[in-house]
Structure formats: C-alpha cells, structure tokens
Amino acid sequence: MSELRKDPIIGRWVVIATERKFRPSDFSVPVEVQTEAFCPFCPGNEDKTPPEIFAIRPGSSSPNTQGWEVRVVPNKFPALRIEGDLNRRGMGMYDMMNGIGAHEVIIETPEHKNANGGNVDIKDYSLKTMVNIIETYQIRCIDLKKDTRFRYILVFKNYGKEAGASLSHPHSQLIATPVVPKRVKEELMGSKWYYEYKERCVWCDIINQEIDSGKRIVHQNESFIVIAPFASRSPFELSILPLRHSPDFDVITPKEKELLAEIMLVIFKKLSKGLNNPSYNFMLHTAPARYPRPGYWQTIEKDYHWHIEIMPRLVKQGGFEWGTGFYINPTPPEEAAEFLKSLNI
C-alpha cells in the first residue's frame, strides 16, 4: 500500500509508493520514454488495459471491445489505490495516511498516428472529439465526487517526453486525492483573502483587467478567454478562464463545453504550429469536493473560479526554481500572447 506523508515543516503531502516501480538499480541507466512497438490504448487491445470504467460508445458495442470514441480505464500503475481506508495516523512528529485515491487514464481517441506518421494530439481533433473528451472529464468528476473519501479531483495531461509522458497514444489522466493538494489550497486561500478584502472574485477582476489592457489576450470567444498570465512562470504559460463566474468545472453547460472545445483546438493548434509541437502539461483547477465545510472556504461559491493552466515545457527547471519557488521566465507574457495571437492556423 502506498502512503501519503506530510512534510512536517511546510505541510506538503507526498505519495510514497511503497509498492514501488523504481528500485535503486533502475536509476543506473537514464530513463527514456519508450517508443512502444505495442500500444495498449489502440483499438483491438482493450483486453490489455484494466477493465474500462467509462466509455463513449455511439454504437451498441460492449465494454472492453472496439467501437469506442473515448475510453476511461484505471491506471495500470496507480499512484493511489481505490480500495481501503485512509487510516490517518502519526509516527512521532510525522503525519501519514494510506495511499487511497483514484488514478484513471482517459484515452482521448482511438486514433494514434496522423497522416504524417506523427502522434495524434489535440491539434488534430475534430470539434466533436474534443467535446467528447471534455464531457468525459465532467462525467468522471461528478462520479468521483460521490466517494466521500476524496477531497480533490485533478484532471491533467502530460504530452511529450519533456512533460513526463510515457505512452504516446493520446491520453489525459485524473487523480482523486483524500487531501486538498498544497498548490490548490494556496489558490483557494489567495482567492478567499482577496474576496474578504474586495468582496469580488480575484479571477473575475483579472479577466476585466486583461480585457481592458488587451496585451496578454491570446484568444477569446463567447464564453472563454485565453491569457498569458501577468506573472507567468515559464514561456508561453497560458490560462483558459470561463467568462461566467463559476467555482466548479463540473457544472459546465453543453454550450460552454462546445465553446471550450473550440478554444482548446485553437490554442493547441497555435502552440503546435508556433513552437514546433512542444511537450506540455495542462491542469484543470476546480473547487474541491464537498464544500463549503465549516471554517473552510465559506465563500468559495463567490471567490473561486475554475480554469485550465497550460504549461509548454520549453525550458528546464534548475536548482533556483526548486530551491525558492521563484521562477525565471525568459519570455515576457506580452510577447508570448502577441506571437500566438498573430499566428494563422
């Protein structure tokens, strides 16, 4: 059983995978992404993944057979396991609990290679495929929130070697955790403090200032805006923000799903064309499960605003970034926005 352990000084939880994949000897050779000869995510290989949790199957095909458009399966090497109790406990001055959670893989499309022999990705999708994927995120988030052990559900994607991807068939992931992760808690606290001071949502204020200035907007439609954030951590970092104030991704409407899909296609086409198909991560930040709780995030409905963070992985993080949480970004967000805005796709 994996363990969740809490840093006694700064309160950061980490997952220690005691059924580890990596023993010391595994590090004696550099770890590289496998260019897999066999793809467990391709149609026809449904029996090579754990049994599916959910799939969009427009025909009447049976689970774990071909005929799906999006397919969700448990991660074969999960960081956290679904079975068991949390058993929060101490060990001297340290805090720990069992590594309970969910770790799912969203196989985004049956297609793996595009016409040029490259890997398919968001840039190649039809609007319908992208809407399907967003709908799948929503369905899984709503379902996992029913499990009272989980406090947070994070949807994310690692694309390309530099972003930590290990399989090239297009997929995203989802992890449900029994604690609100540190980085999310910081956002929640920051939003709450701002609300206490201003009685306004800080994210809504950012949207207003960005629209007024116009300098960091990459794209906008009826429901969403994409900006290069004022204090971007790394070159071409982007945020997709819904114009309608809402703390929760999972109450997104059908019309909004279509408009989010549209804007994601635009953004990933631009990133791919302008930056030569870069590795990237994206993370969907939404409100935690089961709020408000007494004393915690009482005003979350008003102060928090869900969004997607996109981080192209163009520069490596060194000791300065690790040691300080203080990033050096060699590309001003104003230039990143201007460059991406002006690209024809």
Site for its own copies in 184-203 (CB under 8 A): 184, 186-187, 189-191, 194, 202-203
In whole angstroms, the minimum distance from the beta carbon of 18 to its own copies comes to 5
Q: Is 74 in the site for its own copies (CB under 8 A)?
A: no
Distance, CA of 63 to CA of 46 (rounded, Å): 9
Residue pair 235/329 in contact (Cβ under 8 Å)? The answer is yes
Q: How many residues appear in the chain?
A: 345
Nearest to 106 by CA among 79, 141, 59: 141
Binding residue for its own copies, selected from 87, 205, 211, 214, defined by CB under 8 A: 205
Q: Is 115 in the site for its own copies (CB under 8 A)?
A: no
Binding residue for its own copies, selected from 44, 50, 118, 164, defined by CB under 8 A: 164
Q: Which residues are catalytic?
A: 171
Binding residue for its own copies, selected from 90, 117, 197, 316, defined by CB under 8 A: 316
Q: Is 204 in the site for its own copies (CB under 8 A)?
A: no
In whole angstroms, the minimum distance from the beta carbon of 332 to its own copies comes to 5
Which residues in the 223-252 window bind its own copies by CB under 8 A?
229-233, 235-236
Q: Which residue has the tokens 């499960």?
A: 289
Nearest to 272 by CA among 137, 110, 70, 119: 119
By CB under 8 A, which span of 35-43, 52-60, 251-259, 305-313 interacts with its own copies? 305-313
Q: Which residue has the tokens 């992985």?
A: 313
Binding residue for its own copies, selected from 83, 146, 319, 344, defined by CB under 8 A: 319
Q: Is 274 in the site for its own copies (CB under 8 A)?
A: yes
Distance, CA of 28 to CA of 324 (rounded, Å): 29
Q: Is 317 in the site for its own copies (CB under 8 A)?
A: yes
Rounded alpha-carbon distances, angstroms, from residue 326 to 203, 320, 329: 22, 7, 10
Going through 76-159 in order, the beta strands assigned E by DSSP cover: 89-91, 94-98, 102-107, 152-159
- What's phi and psi for 239, nearest 5 deg? -125, 135
Coil/strand/helix, residue 296: strand
Binding residue for its own copies, selected from 60, 117, 330, 344, defined by CB under 8 A: 330
Binding residue for its own copies, selected from 1, 11, 45, 214, defined by CB under 8 A: 11
Q: Is 156 in the site for its own copies (CB under 8 A)?
A: yes
